[in-house]
Amino acid sequence: MRRLLLAFGWFLAMPCLAGQETPYVPARDDIVLQTVASISDPRVRAFGTLRAVLNQDPHDVTRAVKLAEAYLDYGRDTGDARYLGRAEAVIAPWLSHSPAPIPALLVHATILQSRHYFAEARAQLRSILDRDNDNAQAWLTLAAVAQVQGDMRAARQACAHLLTSSDPLIPGACLSSLNAVTGNADNAYRVLTTLWPQARAEPVAVQSWIQGILADTAKYLGDEAGADIHFRLALQLTPEDNFLLADYGDFLLDHKRPQEALDLLKNESQSDTSFLRQVYAEVALGVPQAMTDAQQMASRFAALEVRGTRTYQREQAGFELFVQHNPHRALELAQQNWTVQRAPEDMRVLLEAALADGKPEAAQPVLDALAMTRLQYPIIVSLVVQVKAQMAARPPALAVPQTRSAASVPGRPGG
Amino acid sequence: MSLRGFIAALTLLSAAVLPATALAHKESDAYVNLHTDPANPNALLGQFDVALRDLDFALGIDSNHDGNITWGEVKAHRDAIERYVLPNLAIKGDGLTCQITPTGQMIDAHSDGAYDVIRFKALCDKEVPDQLTILYHLFQDIDPYHRGIISVYARGQTSGAVLGPQNTSTTLNLNRPDRWRQFKSFVIDGIWHIWTGPDHLLFILSLLLPAVLICVRRPRTLFDPGVWQPATRFWPAALELVKVISGFTVSHSVTLSLSVLGFVNLPSRLVESGIALSVIVAAFNNIYPLVTRRAWVVAFAFGFIHGLGFASALAGLKLPPVAMAVSLGGFNVGVEIGQESVVMPLIMLAFVIRKSSFYRVGVLRIGSWIIVAIAGLWLYQRLFDVTIPALAFLTPS
């Protein structure tokens, strides 16, 4: 019955939202209510130009794809997910064609994947590759999606298809990001370091991507200083990158540097992912603002749940665990999240939630996945030790009162 | 493809390779709230919240292009906003369209930014109907992933839906049928809870076994069977049983309700152990009767602890008061049906074979010993947090 209730996000989450906001009439005309994209930003001016070009020939798919890609890039840079829908609207007329043009399908696959519809994205990419087996963009995206789903074999095959291009940079980075999570982080780090000088000639997005993989690889190797350097380099290249900010924020929190995390993220509170890390930092520092911000974060999650978005289950599981101290709900979310994505961070939150809820057997899928991938990430290794100890302490599949404490979990504000 | 061309093709590269982290915001939502108008039975009062971000994208309300939307700019665009937004919402009462007119403009702070609030009135041809149909098309052409979150507050109940391009309309029932469906679903939950809970069944069974017999002489020791006589008529035996079941019902209803409403909260280990103990006591009373006349008192007393056990099936239930009453009522009725459906056939069977020594010795005595043994193991499991694999098939879910 509980699951039945969960299926209807509206019914469950709406009571949390209802009555929370009260409409008001602002006191003065010059009060700023909302900041929006401004045409002083060249990227926003480009929207107008690309739109005009498209309107001259609305049947030209290349023009539509250019505009859609501009929206996606902007959405990613600013973290504003609304641009996913706007890009989708631009290519929508072509998606109903049969067969749909490949560039439009590629944009659509990227949108699906950004919304964590990984299975649908893969199906879309497969259909592209059936028609164009040399489509590098499709193989690279497929590699990334397969990797996040924990399908390492498919990811490796996809990376291997990229090797046909004469240049080793992209396939090298593709394979290295895979090796970094499959027990070959040493090798991945060496390869990426070798490739780096070559990447210097590429656009900053590519450079930042390489530095980001280096940072994560160093992190998995337990090299705190190295990871720190790579994170900072990547952020110098793309300072507004929402993904990097979240990743580096987590890293700082893991290494008991909440003040630095707060300094990094405090101006990014419009972004849910950055704001969540800000709340973690505030909780760790014990600042008074933590309470109100935690409530604000809870209402953001409630708003997501009402519309039926499940993209944030990993983040929400962590929030329930470390801020709301509700390990039971955290475990539910982490288990649901595990059915969608299986990256190291997903393993971690499922391990943490299972431990805190006193149900180590719930983490068995992670142990199985780790047996296949042999990820060496020290934080995960130590969590696995704790989970196995808890399993050994008592036999599995037994309903017992739960230990409701996250205090034993390292690296996050809690207790 | 050459590397140059390849990298050029990778405009989506960064988005492509980092699928694991979520984007920073939720996507576009708007909220439509409808309330019945206490002053006019033909009208609904509405509030339509649309994100300024979305309105700016569609209409360009940042007139001076400075990236800041002020209250002055929002006010200046009021007409344009209403003309753009309101035609995308239609409200139909029992199939007839209600006339929507804007009545005011305000601002609402949502978790992802400021929203323009369009207050409006929807005037229907007749009294607010039993069925309200809402059609929603806002932003369909510029954002297929936009969602309209509809909430209707009418006649003391709340209902709602999430609408979007794939799902542009919803019909909400403002009348009783939903309650009835809700009630039924909880009745079924209650029945299943009993049928799948061997501890509750064994407790009732233990109270049922001696109902078709009369204890003429109590046993003097544990191994003395005592003297039992078959009951002569069926109905007095059945009546005795009805009393037992009713006593049990009254008390478990009380604690079930108190627990679900959050007034009572005992650790589940204590409750589950108490239930196991109750089964032991009830079964032991058949071997060495301490209470022979008023078995219903035993049922009534232990019903309190069983009610707390039933509540675990409804843990976390949060509903408005009326819906809560309907759900709890339904669950209680279901528990009752579940019990009767087991007890009635068994008492008839017991009555038929009550005269045989098989019933007195094999069923009443040995059966009760077996129940004591099973419940004893449950008690041991629950008190000391251990598992007995052989007992798994009898472990209450």
- For residue B237, being part of any structural domain is answered with yes
Per-residue pLDDT tens over the stretch B201-250: 888 888 888 888 877 777 777 777 777 778 788 888 788 888 888 888 88
Residue B175 has pLDDT above 90, yes or no: no
The confidence score (pLDDT) of residue B216 equals: 75
| Rama region for A256: left / alpha / beta (φ>0; ψ in -120 to 50; rest) | left
Which tokens belong to A213?
A: 């993989």
* Chain B contact for A233 (CB, 8 A cutoff): no
How does pLDDT run across A353-374, given as a tens digit for each residue? 999 999 999 999 999 999 988 8
User: Are residues B148 and B236 located together in one domain of the fold?
Assistant: no
Q: Closest approach of chain B CAs to the CA of A145, in angstroms?
A: 7
> With 60 as the cut, is the pLDDT of residue B103 above it?
yes
**Does one domain contain both B184 and B170?**
no
Say what the pLDDT of residue B4 is. Answer: 37
A101/A98 Cα distance (integer angstroms): 8
In chain A, where are the structural domains located?
167-239
* Start-to-end CA span in chain B (Å): 60
Query: Do B150 and B200 fall within a single domain?
Result: no
- Phi then psi for residue B249, to 5 deg, are -65, -50
Give the residue from B123, B151, B175 where a domain finishes: B175
* Beta-strand pair B131-136/B169-173: antiparallel
Let me know whether B256 and B307 are in one domain: yes
Nearest 5°: the CA angle B255, B259, B260 is 120
pLDDT band at B364 (very low <50, low <70, confident <90, very high): confident
From chain B, pick out residues whose CB is under 8 angstroms from the CB of A73. Answer: 11-12, 14-15
Rounded to an integer, the average pLDDT of A377-382 is 94
- Chain B residues with beta carbon closer than 8 angstroms to that of A50: none
| pLDDT classification of A323: cutoffs 50, 70, 90 | very high
Residue B1 falls within a domain, yes or no? no
For residue B65, which residues of chain A lie inside 8 Å, CB to CB? 38-40
Is A414 or B201 the better-scoring residue by pLDDT?
B201
CB B20 within 8 A of CB A273: no
CB atoms within 10 A of CB B185: 16
Count of domains observed in chain B: 2
How far, in Å, CA of B24 to CA of A208, rounded?
Answer: 19
pLDDT greater than 90 at residue A103: yes
Same domain, B156 and B193: no
Report the percent of chain B where pLDDT is more than 70: 84
pLDDT at position B145 over 70:
yes
A22: pLDDT confidence band, cut at 50, 70 and 90? confident
With respect to residue B15, please indicate whether it lies within any of the assigned structural domains: no
For residues A370-380, average pLDDT: 91
**Which residues make Cβ contacts (< 8 Å) with residue A319, sequence separation at least 6?**
A276, A279, A297, A298, A301
pLDDT value of position B11:
42
Mutate to test the interface with B, among A6, A8, A36 (most CBs of B within 10 A): A36
Residue among A35, A81, A141 minimizing CB distance to B25: A81
Contact A315 B22 (CB under 8 A): yes
| Subunit contact A136:B268, Cβ cutoff 8 A | no
Q: Are A23 and B107 in contact (CB < 8 Å)?
A: yes
Q: Does A118 touch chain B (CB under 8 A)?
A: yes
A249 touches A277 (CB < 8 A) = yes
Inform me whether the pLDDT recorded for B313 exceeds 80: no
SS3 A337: helix
List the structure tokens of A366. Answer: 């992670």
**A35: nearest CA in chain B?**
B68
List CB contacts (< 8 A) between A202 and chain B. 7
Please state which of the four CATH numbers 2.60.40, 1.20.950, 1.25.40, 1.10.10 is assigned to the domain occupying A167-239: 1.25.40
For residue A28, the chain B residues in CB contact (below 8 A) are 71
pLDDT at B195 over 70: yes
d(CA B23, CA A372): 29
Query: For chain A, first and last CA: distance in Å?
Result: 31
Statement: residue B301 has pLDDT above 70: yes
Structural domain including B115 reads 26-175
Res A55: pLDDT: 93
Task: Scan residues 194-223 of A and list those with Cβ closer than 8 Å to B.
Answer: 202-203, 205-206, 208-209, 212
Query: Residue A98's pLDDT band (boundaries 50, 70, 90)?
Result: confident
Contact: A24, B108; criterion CB under 8 Å: yes
Q: Is A31 on the interface with B (CB under 8 A)?
A: yes
**Is B361 found in the same domain as B314?**
yes
The minimal CB distance from B112 to the residues A36, A205, A303 is found for A303
In a domain, B111, yes or no: yes
